[in-house]
A and B are shown apart, each in its own frame.
Chain A
Amino acid sequence: MKYLSAIGGYAIMVVEVFKKPTKWRIMKSLILKEVDELIYGSLGIIVFISFFIGAVVSIQTAMNLTNELIPKNLIGFATRQSIILEFAPTFCSVIMAGKVGSFITSSIGTMRVTEQIDALEVMGVNALNYLVFPKIIAMLLYPFIIAVSMYVGIFGGWFAGVFGGFITSADFVDGVTLDFIPFHVTYSFIKTVVFAFLLATIPSFHGFYMKGGALEVGKASTTSFVWTSVVIIITNYILTQLLLT
């Protein structure tokens, strides 16, 4: 019952976000600020993690290729498939649930605790539109981060494979281009757009409707991370079933 009520509350919040829009002059600057904080501010951690995960996938694949009959270019092929299909869109989104999600919940939650949201409402501002809508629009640039993650992840795989002495550069590149299906990238970006919406709205829901003080802001951030991750994982399964089978 509690979960159904939360789902209902979330749906109502999403509808409210698009009502009574804030003046474009103000909204424009809010969106640019969110792009800076949510997208540009996340590039560093995503590049760092993608490079090393790509490298690890490459090494692990190489270590498991014990049969001489299996061509070495499989290392490049496996790295590409893992990064494009799962690591970049899903694993990065779970990381973003921790990085961006906690930030969104704690910043909106702190505004709730310090009565800044009440101040917006007293003035007649649609606080949900003012606070959440710019985050949704900023997160439309999230596929850009995932594209960078794909590129850096595969580069990390090449780096570890070639400089670790597991594969030649030519074989790796051959594997990366082997049986390439462009729809896999489309599938990945479709997932990314859905995850971007979840990453902007679920943490906002937990921050906006939290009650209590500073301790509860911390608890709300943790709950928000757990639920954003759970919903991303379930949505990943549903979208994979719908798009790839």
Chain B
Amino acid sequence: MIEVDHIHKSFKDTHILKGISTTFETGKTNLIIGQSGSGKTVFLKCLLGLFDATDGKILYDGKQYTELSSAEQRNLRQEMGMVFQGSALFDGLTVEGNVKFPLEMFTKQSKSEMQDRVDTVLKRVNLVDAHHKFPSEISGGMQKRVAIARAIVMNPKYLFCDEPNSGLDPRTAIVIDNLIQEITEEYAITTVINTHDMNSVMEIGEKILFLKNGLKEWEGTKHEIFKTDNKAVTDFVYSSELFKKVRQMYIEERN
């Protein structure tokens, strides 16, 4: 579980995050949504420890990152997996090399143990024939799968995804969304996803946090987002005619 308590983040005179508090529960897919410039990426980078919060606390299962010793911070980092928007695979390494990378860096496993682990996670993300291909030789959807495999190879307790299905066709996007949700439940991971994709919100949003101008505007589940009267949320989520109709149908069905 990740508890966020009144997080503020400023860059010089620009106040980006203005006191966000929330809780991300274990075994659930938590989504952060909001317009461009609302502070989603800064918030995710604060959760990852890439940015230090100006004020406030972030607790990872009760442990505050900034109060840990450097060895404990290193251990906590190894409990985090991250799937970047552009996958961020290492160009010079093969698919297998990318997935094996964290194991080689941080474990004392033998070569055969590492190979077994790599085979297991690549099989889990349905990639069995791409071990020796380079990132430039595989499709965007496959790159995302490799990125997910790399993120989970160390059995992380926390998984962060920055727009995991951007640039993917709708069918592949759903596959990636479902894969993340399955992995979250299977490995009991606390997953936080930064997304613009309303399909993801409707499909896998067990908890949704809506940010606006660096503030928490709304939070709830995918079911509650259909019923909310919050104008900022409805303007954002139901900006397309299709989603307006979907919402209308949902409400009529419930009534």
Residues of A near any B CB (own CB < 8 A): 22-23, 25-26, 33, 110-111, 114-116, 118-119, 121-125
Contact = CB atoms under 8 A, between A and B. Distances in A.
Contact of B88 (A23, A26, A118, A125): A118
B84 A115 contact: yes
B86 interface: yes
Contact of B106 (A25, A116, A124): A124
B105 interface: yes
A42 to B, nearest CB: 19
B179 interface: no
Contact of B105 (A23, A114, A115): A23
21 contacts: A23-B104, A23-B105, A26-B105, A110-B91, A111-B91, A116-B89, A116-B91, A118-B82, A118-B84, A118-B88, A119-B88, A121-B50, A122-B49, A122-B50, A122-B77, A122-B160, A123-B101, A123-B102, A123-B105, A124-B78, A124-B106
Contact of A118 (B50, B80, B90, B92): B50
Contacts of B90: 116, 119
B89 to A, nearest CB: 8
Contacts of B50: 118, 121-122
A114 B86 CA distance: 7
B106 A119 contact: no
Contacts of B92: 33
B88 A116 contact: yes
A1 to B, nearest CB: 15
B50, B80, B88 interface centre (most CB from chain A within 10 Å)? B88
What is the interface of chain A mostly: helix, strand, loop, or mixed?
helix
A122 B104 contact: no
B85 A115 contact: yes
Given A23-B105, A26-B104, A122 B86 contact: no
Nearest to B79: A124
Interface string B81-112: 01011101111100000000110111000000
A124 B104 contact: no
B188 interface: no
Interface in B101-158: 101-102, 104-106
Contact of A119 (B73, B78, B84, B104): B84
Given A115-B86, A116-B88, A122 B105 contact: no
B74 A124 contact: yes
A33 B90 CA distance: 15
A114 B85 CA distance: 9
Contacts of B85: 115
Given A25-B104, A122-B50, A124-B106, 18 more contacts: A23-B104, A110-B91, A111-B91, A114-B86, A114-B91, A115-B84, A116-B91, A118-B84, A119-B88, A119-B90, A121-B50, A122-B49, A122-B77, A122-B82, A123-B101, A123-B102, A123-B105, A124-B73
